[in-house]
Amino acid sequence: MDILFLGHSLIEFFDWQERFPDHRAVNLGKGGESVEGLLVRVRKLTGSSSSAGLIFIMSGINNMAMEDLDFMGPYREIIKELSTAFPKARIFINSLLPTLLDFIPDKSIRSINSSLKKLVEEHNRVE
């Protein structure tokens, strides 16, 4: 079973295959990418031959760094696209982690994580 990892630099620069040696870990992380950029890449995955059983997403901190807090719409589209492209896969949305950047307050991250939780609750196969 393939495990897809999608998101920003924390995804890209981690050795997922070492953590999941019994599976094929596909690292599709891209440092500096916004949620909208991820959506563009996800749309290209629709023709993928991957047998992804699990999909993990962590994205949004780069939007916040650009003072863009309105990215739930594109996030919703990412879930829709992945659900269509990989109908048997379970999709996991990861919370955003606190950052040392002063201009991204923890309060804003908690607010976005609350919105992500609501987004997850809208979908049956998303956790």
Residue 49: per-residue pLDDT: 58
The candidate with the shortest Cα–Cα distance to 7, out of 69, 76, 59, is: 59
Enter the DSSP assignment of 32. T
Q: CATH assignment of 2-121, given 2.60.40.1120, 3.40.50.1110, 2.30.30.40, 3.30.420.10? A: 3.40.50.1110
Q: Is the pLDDT of residue 46 over 80?
A: no
CA distances from residue 46 to 14, 15, 84 in whole angstroms, order as listed: 24, 24, 8
Task: List, as one string, the DSSP characters of 73-127.
Answer: HHHHHHHHHHHHHSTT-EEEEPPPPP-S-TTS-HHHHHHHHHHHHHHHHT-TTB-
Residue 45: per-residue pLDDT: 79
Domain definitions of the chain by residue range = 2-121
Over the stretch 78-108, which tens digit does the pLDDT of each residue have? 999 999 889 999 999 999 999 988 889 999 9
> In percent, how much of the chain has pLDDT > 70?
96
Report the C-alpha gap between 57 and 84 in whole angstroms. 16
Query: Which residue did the predictor score with more confidence, 107 or 49?
Result: 107
Q: Taking the model in full, what pTM does it have?
A: 0.92
